[in-house]
Amino acid sequence: MKYTKYILLLSCLLLGACSKFLDQTPQGVISGDDLNSPANLEKMVTAAYASLGNDHYTAPYSSMWPYGNIRSGDAYKGGDGAGDISDYHFYETFSLNRVDNGSSDLVWFRLYVCIGRVNDALARLNKATETQFPEKVVRQAEMKFLRGHYYFLLKTLFKYVPYIDENAPKETYDTISNRTYSNVELWTKIADDFTFAASHLPDIQPQIGRANKFAAKAYLAKTLLYEAYKQDENNHVTGIDAALLQQVNTLCDEVIASGKYQLAIDYANNFLSKSENGPESLFAIQYSKDDGTPKGRLDYGHALDYPMNQEYGCCGFHSPSSNLVNAFQTGANGLPMFETFNNVNITTEADFHTHTFDPRLDHTVAIPGHPYKYDPAFLYKRAWARAPEVYGSYLSLKEAVLPGDATFQKVPPFMSSSKNWEIIRYADVLLFKAEALIELGRAAEALPLINQVRGRAAASTGLLKQANGTFTSSYKMNTYQPGVNCTWSTDFARQALRWERRLEFAMEGSRFFDLVRWGIAADYLNAYFAVEKTRRAHLNDASFKKGRDEYLPIPLNQINYSKGLYKQNTGW
């Protein structure tokens, strides 16, 4: 009782003593109006940029590998079996995916956090005058570029999403439906942001990492290319909009004509820290380490993708499929084996010398007996795979760095790095233009563009050697030469373009979204499963349902948040 008396007395004294401080702003707190100074406006813009690299392996949105690769037939989930991040196993098999998949809810949430930062910065920028903040319009354009990027990701993942801009009061967020805008209108909203950005950004930014005019034009071309493939409510492609394709072609021409970009001399340069922000990079996520923060701005989205060996230690996710490895094979003419590539499964080290391959194979896939990340003294071993009896022994290479790389950082028990991750590179622009031309009936004009990409790949063998100087695999790759090694019809050109996109951007997170916009996802993936089930038991239940699985379901948590306002996607 005496302790209670003293505590009550002390409390009274403290309350009386502190009352005179209650009307003062606490230290470490800044008011909303204080953030509208020019210096703090720049900080709000920086915070929006920082969101690019704020993802995490539980639901990454940088490379989009769980949604774009393991749902495409290019990759298996990897890790230690189906139960290791089971949400990703559900993505891979489709038939097991559900509306309460936690990773889908998490990536939705994280992308809207990104959009929230952009909208907050835009709302403040809109109130400033150019006298107060001379960089106002350029920063507005940068923010709209970022918002377009985040909404593009949401759109390709979920199709129908609530569109919230800087003018919507926060208290009204839960009243904005994901069906306020139609499919076409949502694409238009995204395109409008990139159009504004392209009109108001400078050709060159003084700071690396900021979006410029040509990055915006390239992303606008990508957006219009996706929109051009018209979809009905059942996700079926019903036609291709020629007017939009013409715009894609024009935008790509403007990027090309700028003379500011070119293909990297060696394909490897796109995936090495020492050559980041090179001539092929239009826009990339800028990661960092040793930057004054506890662990740096590291690439946590790929933190699971390193081998299980002494130098790394975890975790063997993101494993290239047998189908993808087989697709890198070339025939006697040095061209892809469109119809027969998967007839023989490449499985042994000897197979990589008794067959011939596109060199991009060894830039993309870690293969037993081959140098890991171009180091001939550091040979990848089957034992480095987490569960080779389940997922095979291959691992993804593009996102990785060597343990001695300046950007490498252990974040126990995982691995990471501060190496950039490309969002759009010049090869994208060339192939966007080629695709538009083919679908416009101008396949002959697409030929030199595709050959430019193939020619660079064919020449990218300088780093693909063993310690004794011999090539790691047997490479044989040619450009398309009508009348010599092919007949360049529209149908053939379309097949060549789609194959080129697969191999050029393999394991970079875009493949599934290509299949959906082309309208071939169901047929392609069910044919893939029919063969791959005989190789990988974890795919026994896999099946793609046409008219449903082209998009993830609207997460149940989000429907509950909206009190049923959000409408579920078709088929779910």
DSSP secondary structure letters along 226-285: HHHEEE-TTS-EEEE-HHHHHHHHHHHHHHHHT------SSGGGGG-GGG-S-TTEEEEE
Inter-residue contact 318 to 65 (CB < 8 Å): yes
CA gap 533, 539 in Å, rounded: 5
Inter-residue contact 316 to 78 (CB < 8 Å): yes
pLDDT at 182: 97
Strand partners, 319: 76
Arch. (CATH architecture) of 261-282+317-403+424-508: Alpha Horseshoe (1.25)
Inter-residue contact 263 to 426 (CB < 8 Å): yes
The kind and range of the H/E element at 213 are helix 213-228
pLDDT at 6: 33
- Name the CA radius of gyration of the chain, rounded: 25
Encoded tokens for 304: 């699971």
pLDDT < 50 positions in the chain: 1-24, 26, 29
CA gap 370, 363 in Å, rounded: 11
In this predicted model, what pLDDT tens digit does every residue of 207-255 receive, in sequence order? 999 999 999 999 999 999 999 999 999 999 999 999 999 999 999 999 9
Inter-residue contact 349 to 369 (CB < 8 Å): yes
Inter-residue contact 104 to 111 (CB < 8 Å): no
Encoded tokens for 351: 């197979």
Inter-residue contact 439 to 240 (CB < 8 Å): yes
Domain extents in the chain: 261-282+317-403+424-508
pLDDT at 295: 78
Q: What is the DSSP letter of 76?
A: E
Rounded to an integer, what is the distance from CA 422 to the centroid of its chain? 8
Phi, psi of 415 (to 5 degrees): -120, 155
Pairing status of strand 317-320 against strand 329-330? unpaired
Encoded tokens for 293: 């923060």
Inter-residue contact 549 to 522 (CB < 8 Å): yes
In this predicted model, what pLDDT tens digit does every residue of 258-285 receive, in sequence order? 999 999 999 999 999 999 999 999 999 9
CA gap 149, 151 in Å, rounded: 6
What does the CA dihedral 63, 66, 72, 74 come to, rounded to 10 degrees?
70
CA gap 414, 60 in Å, rounded: 15
Inter-residue contact 255 to 214 (CB < 8 Å): yes
Q: Which distant-in-sequence residues (6+ apart) come within 8 Å of 143 by Cβ?
A: 45, 48, 118, 121, 122, 125
